[in-house]
A and B are shown apart, each in its own frame.
Chain A
Amino acid sequence: MAFISIFKNRTGIEKEIDSFLNLASESGLIFIQGIGAYLGNDIDSFSEHLSHVVETEKEADTLRRSIEDLLYRKTLIPESRGDVLELIERMDALLGRFKGVMFRVEIERPNINPQFHSGLKSLSNCVIEAVESATLSLRSYFKDISQATDHIHKVSFWETEADKASTSLQKAIFNNNELGLDSKMQLRDLVRSIDKIADHAEDLADTLAIYVIKRSL
């Protein structure tokens, strides 16, 4: 009987992990739309996106708990269980970071000079590309391990691009003579917090790279 329940739960957990990764991808898209709305001075739309990202993160949290519960209670994939749990938790933390940045914008309501808009959009794009590649690499880890390395490589690429965008944006902020030091520091912190998301995506990818080697047949 124990076997039958294990096999039933296997299908359930596959779906849950797929849904969880879908939410991770979705969060990135909501984030970039939210930032776009804020830069376009559409505060209502920004607030909507913020509530959407909060809901997505909450849903992802519930799924994560359910995945953890199933993995441990039903003793599935015993040799990779710890690895999978760590990866899921790290991915969940990434989702939390999207929410964190949007809350920061909501609380601080920074005044962003139009000259920084394109740089900020470009940085946000690099960040969501890095997260998207991390999501794809995680999907491959479950479904087609031979593809995982390709996606891991892309995460590194987008993280480097995000670093470049972040550096040039910070330079532009501090070279602007119209802004006071307080505004410069506020914008710098915002830029850094967005860039940090890509850093964390890369950390996840690095961990995943080791697990891919461990699991390779």
Chain B
Amino acid sequence: MTDFALRTTALVRRFGGLVATDRVSLEVARGARHAIIGPNGAGKTTLVNLLTGVLKPDEGRILLAGEDVTDLPAPARVRRGLARTFQINQLFPALTPLETVALAVSEREGHGGDWFRAAGSRAAEVDEAVEILGRFGLVSVMNERTAVLPYGKQRLLEIAAAIACRPRVLLLDEPAAGVPEEERRDILAILAALPADVTIVLIEHDMDLVFSFAERITVMVDGAIFTEGTAAEIARDPGVRAVYLGEGD
């Protein structure tokens, strides 16, 4: 049996009459670079919300490294190594990038409820936060309020905060959405440099990013899995071109 980092069995989620997630069975191997693509409204973000515990599925199970996490709330899944980024920035406007990343590190280490020590008094944690910020080129702005940062920097912070959770599985929901071309390359370089044992699931519209990054690709249409295969197989698949790329002939 393959060692799955993340696995779902016949996941279903309905919104009234709309089936947003339709019997989705996904298998992501440990250390995989897996992309989920599909046209708008294919149910990609709903799937991310189901996987992370923001939404509860109506049917089906979710297994994280073999453990059933279907009934666990979002924070409990994070502590088991499942982190995510958001399609639309979800940051702390009044906090600085340093505070944001240091917070994520201290929560991961279980010091989040510590009320007597000063924040920043654990040198190893601060050093790690600075190291992460350095990887994302955010050290020069680490003491600015997040609200005043340029969009591209905020986008990078969005990923940096998730990395600071030191995930085993990282879900990236359109990390390059709205990011200008040159900064896209930064994001790609950062993703490429992540440790190989971190499993990455990428939800993305940008085909260049998908094909330069992903080894396996799942194509979703109308809430269901349309097809799945290696990047090369998907690139060749005439059905995918027809439904998704709109280039079918």
B is bound to A? no
* B contact residues vs A (CB 8 Å cutoff): none
